[in-house]
Amino acid sequence: MDLITKVRSGGRLERKEAEALYDLDLFTLGELADEIRRKRYGNKSFFNINRHINPTNVCADTCKFCAYSASRKNPNRYTMSHDEILRIVENSVANGAKEVHIVSAHHPEAGVAWYMDAFRKIKARFPELHVKAMTAAEVDFLARHYGHTYDEVLDMMIESGVDSMPGGGAEIFDEKVREYLCKGKVTSDQWLEIHRKWHERGRMSNATMLFGHVESRAHRIDHMLRLRDLQDETGGFNAFIPLVYQRDNNFLRVEEFPTGQEILKTYAISRIVLDNIPHIKAYWVTATINLALIAQEFGADDLDGTIERESIQSAAGAASAHGMPLQSFVSLIKDAGFVPVERDSLYNELQVYA
């Protein structure tokens, strides 16, 4: 059976077959991925009304790709008070937000309580609001730095009102690449272990992959296959999010950046390879809104959300600092030929903008 026939028949691809997908031309790949996407979701493109909050940029780690954490590239250190965080949440809820997405740098002095009390206060004030918070990298840092086990940190998160986990910190799972990118940060096995434990608690999470820097295509496929294996075990991933590397204001020297075709191929391949992860998110913050909309024809079915404000990717050059107004978001999706569907954080449909 040739590769295209195997994909169309729903066969699960092995490593070499998955790597060979990159040898197919862009439009063949797009057609294969779009067939899978449309069988599941038709013409729908999902998004949510959310707010990203990044409470501190003070970080104990130094990742070469990061432009957000306080460093000589970014000397403007800040740490929000809980009152500041609550004011942001209050304004966002008034603007219709149904989710807050909270990720931070790895603050070496803030203490575990600073994180957990923030979540607890948000949930006490807004019990219906979905709190998505704490990457596996943050969980690992808090456990190591403050002498806790992963289980203890995860249990504290649940007790404090965290509903789901974002997928950040995964970067690329290959350890040689990680050593170059983010030495000392959570390892690939630890990242997977943390998400496994979270899923075992009956909670959902997302998974990411940072690509377009020093990794190879084979590294991307390896990354996807490790996620597919864990999803076979737990079924706990809602979405896979290929994050396009942002090039400005960091210490990673990259000579060649991925073309639009390479980015679209990677979206399409992720849809084909990750047969057990429901959603593929074209995160418009890193892909640009135009390419993210095109990616809806290459296997992606989700665009993330309105965001309202974002600090991490915009520090590296992404045009996401002030989010996207709801009506603009809806109009862009419609103009691209798709049906905008507002969802909640767990992909229950809330409103169809027909």
pLDDT above 70 as % of the chain: 88
Which two tokens mark 59? Answer: 């970080």
What DSSP assignment string belongs to 62-91?
--TT-SSSSSSS-----B--HHHHHHHHHH
**Selection from 92, 107, 95, 111 nearest residue 52 by Cα:** 92
Give me the pLDDT at residue 333, please. 94
- Looking at 68-77, 197-206, 301-310, which range is the least confident one? 68-77
Structural domains in the chain?
Answer: 13-343 (3.20.20.70)
- Identify the bridge partners of residue 349 per DSSP, sorted by sequence position: 343
Mean pLDDT, range 277-286, rounded to an integer: 92
pLDDT above 90 as % of the chain: 72
| b/e per residue 219-234 (b: at least 16 CB within 10 A) | bbbbbbbbbbebbeee
Give me the pLDDT at residue 66, please. 61
Give me the pLDDT at residue 32, please. 98
Distance CA 172, CA 189 (A): 12
Mean pLDDT, range 84-97, rounded to an integer: 93
**Residue holding tokens 């990616």?**
295
Q: Give residue 12's pLDDT band: very low, low, confident or very high (50, 70, 90).
A: very high
Q: pLDDT tens digits, residue range 36-62?
A: 999 999 999 999 999 989 998 887 667
Distance CA 319, CA 86 (A): 25
Give me the pLDDT at residue 286, please. 79
Q: Give residue 337's pLDDT band: very low, low, confident or very high (50, 70, 90).
A: very high
Q: Which helix (H) or strand (E) holds 172?
A: none
Give me the pLDDT at residue 196, please. 98
Give me the pLDDT at residue 309, please. 53
Name the average pLDDT for the chain: 89
**Residue holding tokens 């980015």?**
263
- Looking at 132-136, 224-228, 251-255, which range is the least confident one? 251-255
Q: pLDDT tens digits, residue range 182-213?
A: 778 899 999 999 999 999 999 999 999 999 88
Count of Cβ atoms closer than 10 Å to residue 253 Cβ: 9
Amino acid at 145: H
Q: pLDDT tens digits, residue range 125-183?
A: 999 999 999 999 999 999 999 999 999 999 999 999 999 999 998 999 999 998 888 77
Pick 85 or 258 by higher pLDDT.
Answer: 85
Amino acid at 31: E
